[in-house]
Structure 1
Amino acid sequence: MEKKLAEYKCDTNEAISLKLVRFPEDVEDDGTTFHPEYSHQIFGDDEVAFGYKGLQIQLFYTAGNLSTLFKVKYSSKVTETFDCVEPDDVEGKIREIVPAGFTYNTDDFISLLEKEANFKPFGTLLHTYTVHSEEAGEFTYQIHKADIACPGFQEYHERLQTFLMWFIETASFIDADDDRWDFFLVFEKYNKDGETLYATVGYMTVYNYYVYPDKTRPRVSQMLILPPFQGEGHGAQLLEAVHRFYCGLPKVQDITGLKKMLFFSEDPSENYVKLRDFVLAKLCQGLPSFAADKLHLGFSADMVKEAQEKLKINKKHARRVYEILRLRATDMSDEVKAREYRLEVKKRLFGPYRKNQRELAKMRKCLRPEELVSHMGQMDTQTQHEELEKSYQVVVEGYRRIIERLATQA
């Protein structure tokens, strides 16, 4: 019995098919299909739907306006064999995140696709750039800033944010009615039958926190580049365009990190840190205080001031940029210069260890002897040195990749 019931279990990451449709023939083209990274928020931690064989969950979107086709197909259902077993309500679970207005009918969806010529990007154009592909030629992209007051944007955003559930591990929908939210959208500009159309590529949400007495601190909250467009540099283009936008606003104090990105969790992901470091290093390398002859003198107050005033970069991020640019300007084959650089980076990395030592000193008065020994064991000097060296090597390896990427942008 158990073995037969197991035949009715489906991996929902495989069962769910997502698609951005530009042409009617894309509907039946498996080559345009992509699948979720995650589905646990809808189908539970095991990411399994029970009760069906050959389950197919189709969520197809028109490429621009994201008008939605939703279909559930299967070859057989568990109730056809077992009277007393109920299948999962797959459709009901999907309907919880897909906003009203979708269609179940393919012909109706094709009719919506034909209206894509009327779709235009929301908000204000901030930046236009091109991406060249040796196989397919040159493509043009635009980055727009929008807010919830743009006609039709709220409904569009409700459709767009459904992708978060499939590509961000701990995704949640935002309260878009809060006027402190800014939205930045990336679109591909393309031609279809002689008409100019736009396809959704990705987006970023930024929340503007209040800073006493009259400033704001924009914080990147969510960032998503849709899978068909990943690996083409759109994330860097988007982050740089957003950064330059806020740099032009006198009321902005500085720009802070990320809450969610792509398919990563609440904490700033490793991939986002790399992206942010690359963009900020690219911006800072032209500042006088970050000139090569200044880098070997150490991290300075001038660097902090100039990065904050001209680029709205906080001290913590400016320090990382300094380390990246100093590494680029350092001959690591020179033992003296390499040692100076290593000590400079390790001095920053040692900060958390020093904090632990201060906390331990405070604990001495309130901890029992056996508890104190336990805490001291966690701070063994040899272990600290080993961990510090390991952290240093990881940091430098990441910095080298950023430097290589900067070289390709020169």
Structure 2
Amino acid sequence: MAAAVPDSEWAADANEAIHLSLVRTKEDRASLTAREVYEGFNPTFTYPIFGEDEKLYGYKDLAVDLKFASGSLAQYLKVSYSQKLASSSVVDDIEGTLAGFIPPGYDTNEADFLKRVEEDAATFRPYGRLIHSYSRSAHKMSRKHAHMTQGYDPNDEDIVDFEVYHTTWDTPGFREYHRRMQLFILLYIEGGSYISEEEDQWDFVVLYEKRRRRNTPDVFTYHFVGYSSLYRFYCFPEKTRMRLSQFVILPPYQQEGHGSALYCAIYQFVLQDASIAELTVEDPAEAFEDLRDRNDLKMLLNNERYLREALGDDANGSSCASPAHHPSPPNANGNGHNGHGGGGGGGGRVAKGRTVHHERSVQLGNGRGNQGVGRRRTLGKLGPPADRKWMEKWRTELKIAQRQFNRLNEMLILKHMDCEDGHTMKQYRLQVKQRLFRFNYDSLMQLDKEERQTKLEETFQSVRADYERILGTVH
């Protein structure tokens, strides 16, 4: 990038100057409701492309339009401005820089691009194999915190379908398609980076909107919503471990439950594939970890056989978690996650100068909550203490990574146990602290005994408070 220009009037914020659009044909736009807006949104991050300061220099009234055909993701790029500095040494080559991150063949003539949009809308179909689908009414879309569980009239002409497809590098045409969609990883995932096409172990799960045209209801067109990339590792003796690495839902579709739908589709895909031992997530961002926790908890709470064994005759018990600790989670749809860099919380290691709410041993709140109503002293196989052999049997069957499954069971114990019973609470505290100690062993062993005990207690209280918060979002 060029050197910074002293005069700030020639500098522009890249995140504000860049405008992204998912462009539909005129006929497809006619099918949208007034709430649905898919054009003119901004990136969250541009530093992987334009540098740490995310500034563009040498222009006044700068606007960078990067448009995508909503299904095929064919691209159009236009850089416009009112004035440009004459000196090339302080003027950024915006198109030249962006061209290094998008594939060749993008349009710079808008008329040619719109013609391509029309052509692609008629012919584009998702790559790979359909693995999941769901539907909802268009009138409930683009409302914040909408839920996929909301009912709809199957006779409603404005029903919108969503379909999830699984694909790999071997799927004909997908490699080229991936080169067009991977830019969203850089723009919406902190620390996001491109993956190597030379590695064969990648799987991809892509979510599309399938929309019926209002004037020709027998015609459907497809529109890109988001995707996840997953990496397969060898798992002894003859299976693979699937690691979720990247996960993004584009801004126009966020806060509508599509992140949860995509995650659940991935989990069911893993559950049904006998060659996969478990699903893991690489260093998840805090928002994604919330999404994962909520959906994993719902899955366990809907598993009657597991609950009977876990809770015994207390399977329908109420929670002792305090309603005072139930704020709504930020970014509930988990719009971006990338295991290759960045991503905050969820690592569970001793924190270094940063306050987070997940399983860390310093700089955490005390998490004190109200005491709950009287409950049973024991909870079937969950205890506390939990039956470890039983837990491992279920963990293996459900294909959940060990740390995640331990956390889920700790949440369920907290939901159902008698928080006023001193013995039960002591057993619960010991169970959680033993796991935290093992997880933070190297860092904690650098402390003296008294400080180690203090840090463990602080972490336990913070973990408990966070469990209460998550439980408050699961119904």
TM-score by length of structure 2 reads 0.72
User: Is the counterpart of residue 230 in structure 1 residue 254 in structure 2?
Assistant: yes
197 and 96 in structure 1: CA distance in 2 versus 1, 3 angstrom threshold: same
Deviation, structure 1 residue 405: 3.1
Deviation readout 1:55-106 (Å, 9 max, x if unpaired):
1111111111111111100110011xxx575411111111000111210111
Deviation, structure 1 residue 316: 1.9
Structure 2 counterpart of 1:400, one-letter code: E
Match of residue 403 from structure 1: 471
1:72 equivalent among 60, 79, 83: 79
1:191, 1:106 → 2: CA distance?
26
Which structure shows the higher helix fraction? 1
Q: Secondary structure at the match of 1:88?
A: coil
Q: Which has the higher contact order (CA 8 A, sep 6+)?
A: 2
Match of residue 388 from structure 1: 456
Alpha-carbon contact 2:385-2:427 (below 8 Å) kept: no
Alpha-carbon contact 1:274-1:398 (below 8 Å) kept: no
Deviation readout 1:142-188 (Å, 9 max, x if unpaired):
11101222232111111000111111222221123533211101111
Structure 2 counterpart of 1:401, one-letter code: R
Deviation readout 1:84-130 (Å, 9 max, x if unpaired):
75411111111000111210111111111112121111111111113
1:110 equivalent among 111, 114, 126: 114
Stretches of structure 2 lacking an aligned partner (at least 5 in a row): 30-35, 142-157, 316-379
Match of residue 409 from structure 2: 322
Stretches of structure 1 lacking an aligned partner (at least 5 in a row): 259-266, 361-378
Identify which range, 204-213 or 107-116, moves more after superposition: 204-213
Match of residue 36 from structure 1: 43
Match of residue 243 from structure 1: 267
1:150, 1:196 → 2: CA distance?
22
Alpha-carbon contact 1:284-1:307 (below 8 Å) kept: no
1:185, 1:402 → 2: CA distance?
27
User: Is the counterpart of residue 167 in structure 1 residue 172 in structure 2?
Assistant: no
31 and 150 in structure 1: CA distance in 2 versus 1, 3 angstrom threshold: closer
User: Is the counterpart of residue 98 in structure 1 residue 99 in structure 2?
Assistant: no
2:88, 2:393 → 1: CA distance?
70
Deviation, structure 1 residue 317: 1.8
Match of residue 284 from structure 1: 300
Match of residue 419 from structure 2: 332
Structure 1 counterpart of 2:458, one-letter code: K
2:393 equivalent among 305, 309, 327: 305
1:319, 1:339 → 2: CA distance?
17
Deviation, structure 1 residue 306: 1.8
1:174, 1:17 → 2: CA distance?
25
Alpha-carbon contact 1:284-1:290 (below 8 Å) kept: no
User: Is the counterpart of residue 157 in structure 1 residue 178 in structure 2?
Assistant: yes
351 and 23 in structure 1: CA distance in 2 versus 1, 3 angstrom threshold: same
Q: Secondary structure at the match of 2:7?
A: helix
User: Is the counterpart of residue 191 in structure 1 residue 212 in structure 2?
Assistant: yes
Structure 1 counterpart of 2:51, one-letter code: G
Match of residue 130 from structure 1: 135
Count matched residues: 373
TM-score by length of structure 1 reads 0.83
Deviation readout 1:307-326 (Å, 9 max, x if unpaired):
21x22123222111111111
Deviation readout 1:170-213 (Å, 9 max, x if unpaired):
22211235332111011111123422111111101111112344
